[in-house]
Amino acid sequence: MIPLRDLNPSHRAPLVTVVLIAANALLFVYELTLGPDLERFLFSAAFIPAKVLAGEGAGGGIGFGLGSGLLSMFLHGGWMHFLGNMLFLWIFGDNVEDRLGHLRFLLFYLLCGYAATFAHAAASPASAVPAIGASGAIAGVLGAYILMFPQSRVNVLVGRQIVAMPAFIVLGLWIALQLVSGVGTIATTDESAGGIAYMAHIGGFVSGFLMTFLFRGRESSGIAT
């Protein structure tokens, strides 16, 4: 079940959403140019829970964690990882940006990414696998979307048919899958051993849902920065 587009027009140009997609694209292209040096780059630049919690890396400890956590939000592990994330950001990011305003949306996105990153670290503190991808930050956007636009219709590809479904069903099924998959990894020693950091998705979604109450606090006044 793949979302294709939502039927929820926004009222302002999604400038920040476009900039975020462009930044992810530029870094992904850079990754493609690295060839055999890509693995070394990821291990030096990406967020690695065991490395951060041990205080290793530039700046040490939490300082290194913040720096690598930011960079990790813009790195991806392959074409499907990159294209899937950008599809979700494009479909759902514009409306959340429209509701929050450009600057608040950017701050909201980054904070969700950090929350997701450290949720993953809390779930897998001994993991030596680089945690990369915009999934956690985008999960926060989905948390905001399901709260603000639960009845918005989303065109979804189901098999060979395109079906319009309410956002709360589409995104509710998505987070339910993350929860089921996340619970299934609790017994493992490395939550990302299967290649997907489910707890990062859950942490991002929950943080986005909760932070929406704070970030849209002035919405009723018609003020949006």
Give mean pLDDT in consecutive 10-residue pieces for the chain, a chain of 225 residues: 92 96 97 93 87 64 64 93 96 97 96 93 87 94 97 94 96 92 58 71 96 75 36
Q: What's the pLDDT at 218? A: 53
What pLDDT is attached to residue 221?
Answer: 37
Identify residue 199 by its one-letter amino acid code: M
CA dist 55 and 222 (Å) reads 45
Provide the pLDDT for residue 53: 76
The predicted pLDDT at position 140 comes to 97
pTM for this structure? 0.87
User: What is the three-class DSSP state of 133?
Assistant: coil
Q: Are 47 and 68 in contact (CB under 8 A)?
A: yes
In sequence order, what are the residues at sequence separation of 6 or more whose Cβ sits closer than 8 angstroms to the Cβ of residue 154? 3, 5, 6, 7, 91, 164, 165, 166, 167, 170
Tokens of residue 35, six digits:
């060839």
Q: Give the sign of the dihedral formed by CA 96, CA 101, CA 106, CA 108.
A: negative
How far, in Å, CA of 19 to CA of 106, rounded? 10
Q: Rounded distance, CA 176 to CA 172, Å?
A: 6
124: left (phi over 0), alpha (psi -120 to 50) or beta: beta
d(CA 3, CA 141): 15
Number of Cβ atoms within 10 Å of the Cβ of 184: 11
Domain boundaries defined on the chain:
2-221
Superfamily per CATH, domain 2-221? Rhomboid-like (1.20.1540.10)
With a CB cutoff of 8 Å and minimum separation 6, the contacts of 11 are: 98
What is the pLDDT at residue 65?
59
